Amino acid sequence: MLSPVIEKALNEQIRVEAQSSQIYLSMASWAEVLGFEGVAQFMYAHSDEERMHMLKLVKFINERGGHAIVSALDAPPVEFGEFKEMFQELFNHEVHVSACINDLVDICLQEKDYATHNFLQWYVSEQIEEEALARNILDKIKLIGDDKGGFYLFDNDIKQLITAAAPTQQ
């Protein structure tokens, strides 16, 4: 059985994951409109992955005797400047999500809810991967600089990241 404190904190994390999915969906649409098919596919896949993170929390809360709440979300931005800015925003958002997960783990330890603490270890590991992936993409974009041909190649190459990341999406 979940304590009210844990249930509330997990429900807030549902909102964080759902908001992440919406932000990445908006990024995908923006990239697609600009003709960057690879970036759009990557962001659509990332949006789906965040939704799966949310659903995993919903099921966990309900299975543990709580009530998962689907709350209203803030509208995400519809434009992102340049790709470097968009991927910097992606990285910053992943750092924010990691901080939220860490806070949630801390609450579990304070509440002595070791079952939820154990469940959250998957999210801790996932966030390490998410931050590393975003940092890697930013490094590649920095290497490209303002080279338009480089962005064309980057758009094609990022499709490989979708395939490479697929096994960790659960």
Cβ 94 vs Cβ 134: under 8 Å: yes
Residue indicated by tokens 């990557």: 42
> Quick one: pLDDT at residue 152?
85
Share of the chain above pLDDT 90, in %: 81
Whether the predicted pLDDT of 6 surpasses 90? yes
Q: What is the mean pLDDT of the chain?
A: 93
Spatial separation of the C-alpha atoms in residues 116 and 5, rounded to whole Å:
12
Under 8 Å CB-to-CB from 85, ≥6 apart: which residues? Answer: none
Residue ranges for the known binding site are 17, 50, 53, 94, 127
Q: For residue range 78-95, list pLDDT tens digits in order.
A: 999 988 999 999 999 999
pLDDT at 25: 98
Q: Residue 148: which pLDDT band, with cuts at 50, 70 and 90?
A: confident
Which pLDDT belongs to residue 163?
Answer: 59
pLDDT tier, 22 (very low <50, low <70, confident <90, very high otherwise): very high
- The pLDDT of residue 72 is 96
The count of structural domains within the chain is 1
pTM of the complete model: 0.91
Give residue-wise pLDDT tens across range 58-72.
999 999 999 999 999
CA dist 88 and 102 (Å) reads 21
Q: Tell me the binding residues for Fe cation.
A: 17, 50, 53, 94, 127
Cα separation, 15 vs 114, in Å, equals 22
> Domain range spanning residue 27?
4-168
Q: Give the Å distances, CA to CA, from 92 to 5, 12, 44, 54, 72.
A: 27, 19, 18, 19, 22
Residue 70: CATH number of its domain: 1.20.1260.10
pLDDT band at 165 (very low <50, low <70, confident <90, very high): low
